[in-house]
């Protein structure tokens, strides 16, 4: 849903499956999307790429993140910047992780995924 202005609580956003062991709560404006993403322990986000530029930050847990040919281990406060169409993949650490991802333009494919049963977010 695209809105010019509004407020919503993370607890009220739909939980949507993105990959096996990965769910997101997404909200979007006119030109960008923000996802609060929960990743199960040892989950793998397979290599993929997309039109959207992506910025992100680890809130809790740890990840091994590969963007093109560079691989980095990230913990809380670790950030990434992924150019449009750059191949990337993620392996989650044994404690799982919660991250924030920002996409421009809007990540409408995430917003169109089926909703899972509501549950409290793992963060905050």
pLDDT tens for residues 102-117? 999 999 999 889 999 9
* 8 Å CB contact between 62 and 9: no
pLDDT at 56: 98
* 8 Å CB contact between 96 and 77: no
pLDDT tens for residues 80-96? 999 999 999 999 999 99
Report the largest interatomic distance among the alpha carbons of the chain, rounded to a whole angstrom. 39
The CATH homologous superfamily for domain 10-111 is Jelly Rolls (2.60.120.10)
Long-range pairs for 10-16: beta carbons < 8 A, 24 or more residues apart: 10/36, 10/121, 10/124, 11/120, 11/121, 14/115, 14/116, 14/118, 15/115, 15/116, 15/117, 15/118, 15/119, 16/110, 16/111, 16/113, 16/114, 16/115, 16/116
Q: Which segments of the chain have a pLDDT < 70?
A: 1-5
């Amino acid at each position: 849903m695209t809105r010019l202005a509004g407020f919503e609580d993370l607890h009220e956003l739909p939980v949507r499956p993105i990959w096996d062991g990965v769910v997101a709560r997404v909200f979007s404006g006119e030109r960008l999307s923000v996802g609060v993403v929960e990743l199960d322990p040892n989950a793998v986000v397979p290599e993929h790429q997309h039109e959207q530029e992506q910025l992100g930050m680890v809130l809790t847990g740890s990840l091994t993140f590969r963007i093109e040919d560079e691989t980095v281990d990230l913990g809380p406060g670790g950030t990434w910047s992924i150019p449009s169409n750059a191949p990337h993949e993620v392996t989650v650490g044994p404690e799982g992780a919660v991250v924030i991802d920002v996409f421009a333009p809007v990540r409408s494919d995430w917003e169109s995924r089926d909703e899972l049963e509501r549950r409290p977010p793992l963060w905050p």
